[in-house]
């Protein structure tokens, strides 16, 4: 319940303070007035805002963006994946702290946010990255709104650049053979596992002999090797083992007999134990993970160039090719979804008709069924005018 306190001003006159309690129960003043009734009305108005959740602590809103982020928002992210936190830290340091860091939180307006978007668009940040970064900024102000630091979220009305998604280019079987011939021999089994299983890079980098059941030709995907910068690592180590894959669900993938034999030979050749890495950085240290960036620059890109296939092809595109080849070959969506570890079938559907010639294969399959003719067409039974006889 709002109330009124009194105090005497320096000129001797009385001033009336409209009082209320904030969400934490602390006493707050809604202002000083010459009339008791005015003060009480102000106290009731402020109290109503507390009750409907619209009250904002104007003093707290003067905290600088950088201080709020470091003291309140960043510590609240402890539950996030290491890679997500590392990405957020990079965006903060490169974009938001330099641009908004010294602004009071309550002083940041929609025009300021729009100004940042326009600036990074002019300087070459992609539309997709701009939208991703803006989503993060929106979450910061959403938290500030919940903490009653700001009266509204200045990110909600931002005009963002349009993302134009180019057609997905899928590696063809012929291109993969060219790539396989160009890759150094010690990395060929890695590529073969990638194309035959569709595993993500972190899953491949974290694969160990104990994850294989070669008698039954199975690979169990249950760990991921995460690579982050040392400054963003909680242990100051560059590589971290995450005991579950993306989407938090282990999966089992069947492989062919030929690949199973190649994996068995690799384990024997290097004398690997159950906890060694199948694809270490060097055969001299079977516990040293392979760096994704090092592999991309020193192995993958030179092989792509030597193979004469499109320069933009990535190691991750083997996963896309795996899905597209399966679907083009007649595998059902649910099976492909399970092999890839997708949480939603709509993600898997993106690979339908992605392989060149997939539409022709689909048409051929349709025509095979459509053009079937029975050897002796059935003759309909004669019916009377009044219908079948009883």
Average pLDDT of the chain, as a whole number: 86
- Assess whether pLDDT exceeds 80 at residue 388: no
Q: What is the pLDDT of residue 3?
A: 86
List residues bridging with 252 in a β-sheet: 220
Nearest-angstrom CA–CA distance, 227 and 42: 56
pLDDT over 90 percentage in the chain: 51
- Residue of 248, 232, 238, 240 lying closest to 85 (CA atoms): 232
Q: What is the pLDDT of residue 360?
A: 65
- For the chain, the maximum distance between any two Cα atoms, rounded to a whole number of angstroms, is 115
Q: Which residue has the higher pLDDT, 327 or 370?
A: 327
Classify 264 as helix, strand or coil.
Answer: helix
- Assess whether pLDDT exceeds 80 at residue 355: no
Q: Which residues contact 352 (CB under 8 A, 6 or more apart)?
A: 327, 333, 358
Q: What is the pLDDT of residue 55?
A: 72
Nearest-angstrom CA–CA distance, 313 and 319: 12
- Residue of 145, 151, 133, 134 lying closest to 58 (CA atoms): 151
Q: What is the pLDDT of residue 187?
A: 95
70, two tokens: 């470091």
* Residues 4, 43 contacting (CB under 8 angstroms): yes
- Assess whether pLDDT exceeds 70 at residue 363: no
Q: What is the pLDDT of residue 57?
A: 76
Three-state helix/strand/coil letters over 70-87: HHHHHHHHCCCCHHHHHH
User: Could you report the per-residue pLDDT of 115-150, keeping only the tens digit for each?
Assistant: 999 999 999 999 999 999 999 999 999 999 888 889
Q: What is the pLDDT of residue 359?
A: 61
Q: What is the pLDDT of residue 389?
A: 42
Q: Which residues contact 98 (CB under 8 A, 6 or more apart)?
A: none
User: Could you report the per-residue pLDDT of 9-33, keeping only the tens digit for each?
Assistant: 888 888 988 887 887 777 888 788 8
- Please report the beta strands in the chain, taking only residues with DSSP state E, as ranges in sequence order: 3-8, 14-21, 27-33, 212-213, 218-221, 224-227, 239-242, 251-254
Q: Side-chain half-sphere of 241: how many Cα atoms within 13 Å?
A: 14
Q: Side-chain half-sphere of 315: how many Cα atoms within 13 Å?
A: 28
What dihedral do alpha carbons 363, 366, 371, 374 form, nearest 10°?
A: 160
Q: Which residues contact 55 (CB under 8 A, 6 or more apart)?
A: 22, 23, 46, 49, 148
Q: Which residue has the higher pLDDT, 293 or 376?
A: 293
User: Could you report the per-residue pLDDT of 32-87, keeping only the tens digit for each?
Assistant: 888 889 888 988 888 888 777 777 777 878 899 999 999 999 999 988 888 888 89
Go through the chain and tell me how many residues it has: 390
Nearest-angstrom CA–CA distance, 313 and 300: 9
390, two tokens: 């009883």
List residues bridging with 5 in a β-sheet: 17
User: Could you report the per-residue pLDDT of 223-277, keeping only the tens digit for each?
Assistant: 999 988 877 777 778 888 888 888 778 899 999 999 999 999 999 999 999 999 9
Nearest-angstrom CA–CA distance, 19 and 32: 10
Looking at residue 369, the DSSP 8-state letter turns out to be: H
Element (H, E) at 295: helix 292-295
Q: Which residue has the higher pLDDT, 382 or 184?
A: 184
* Residues 275, 151 contacting (CB under 8 angstroms): no
Q: What is the pLDDT of residue 18?
A: 83
Q: What is the pLDDT of residue 231?
A: 77
107, two tokens: 């002083």
- Residue of 19, 13, 8 lying closest to 42 (CA atoms): 19
Q: Which residue has the higher pLDDT, 167 or 10?
A: 10
Three-state helix/strand/coil letters over 326-363: HHHCCCCHHHHHHHHCCCCHHHHHCCCCCCCCHHHHHH
Which domains does the chain carry?
A: 3-55 (3.30.730), 62-146 (1.10.150.130), 173-362 (1.10.443.10)
- C-alpha triplet 325, 329, 331: angle, nearest 5°: 95
In sequence order, what DSSP letters do the residues of 95-146 get, joined into one string? Answer: IIHHHHTTSBGGG--HHHHHHHHHHHHHTT--HHHHHHHHHHHHHHHHHHHH
Q: What is the pLDDT of residue 83?
A: 85
User: Could you report the per-residue pLDDT of 85-120, keeping only the tens digit for each?
Assistant: 889 999 999 999 999 999 999 999 999 999 999 999
Q: What is the pLDDT of residue 219?
A: 94
Q: What is the pLDDT of residue 384?
A: 47
Q: Which residue has the higher pLDDT, 123 or 328?
A: 123
């Amino acid at each position: 319940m709002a109330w009124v306190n009194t105090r005497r001003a320096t000129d001797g006159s009385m001033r009336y303070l409209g009082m209320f309690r904030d969400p934490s129960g602390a006493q707050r003043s809604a202002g000083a007035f010459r009339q008791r009734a005015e003060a009480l009305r102000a106290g009731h108005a402020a109290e109503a805002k507390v009750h409907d959740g619209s009250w904002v602590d104007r003093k707290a809103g003067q905290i600088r963006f950088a201080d709020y982020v470091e003291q309140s928002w960043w510590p609240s992210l402890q539950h996030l994946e290491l890679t997500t936190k590392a990405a957020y830290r990079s965006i903060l340091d490169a974009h938001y702290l330099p641009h908004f860091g010294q602004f009071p939180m309550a002083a940041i307006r929609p025009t300021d946010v729009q100004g940042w978007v326009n600036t990074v668009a002019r300087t070459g940040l992609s539309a997709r990255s701009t939208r991703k970064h803006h989503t993060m900024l929106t979450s910061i102000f959403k938290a500030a709104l919940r903490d009653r630091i700001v009266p509204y979220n200045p990110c909600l009305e931002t005009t963002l650049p349009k993302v134009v998604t180019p057609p997905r280019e899928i590696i063809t079987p012929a291109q993969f053979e060219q790539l396989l011939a160009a890759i150094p021999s010690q990395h060929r089994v890695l590529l073969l596992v990638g194309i035959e299983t569709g595993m993500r890079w972190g899953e491949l980098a974290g694969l160990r002999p104990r994850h294989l059941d070669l008698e039954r030709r199975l690979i169990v995907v249950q760990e991921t090797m995460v690579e982050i910068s040392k400054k963003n690592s909680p242990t100051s180590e560059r590589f971290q083992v995450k005991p579950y894959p993306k989407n938090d669900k282990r999966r089992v993938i069947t492989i062919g007999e030929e690949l199973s034999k190649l994996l068995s030979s690799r384990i024997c050749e290097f004398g690997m134990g159950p906890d060694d890495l199948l694809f270490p950085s060097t055969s001299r240290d079977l516990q040293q993970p392979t760096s994704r960036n090092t592999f991309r620059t020193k192995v993958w890109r030179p092989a792509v160039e030597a193979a004469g296939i499109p320069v933009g092809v990535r190691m991750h595109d083997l996963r896309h090719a795996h899905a597209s080849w399966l679907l083009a070959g007649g595998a059902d969506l649910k099976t492909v979804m399970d092999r890839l570890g997708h949480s939603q079938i709509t993600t898997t559907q993106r690979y339908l008709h992605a392989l060149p010639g997939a539409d022709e294969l689909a048409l051929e399959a349709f025509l095979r069924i459509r053009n079937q003719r029975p050897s002796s067409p059935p003759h309909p039974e004669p019916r009377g005018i009044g219908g079948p006889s009883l």
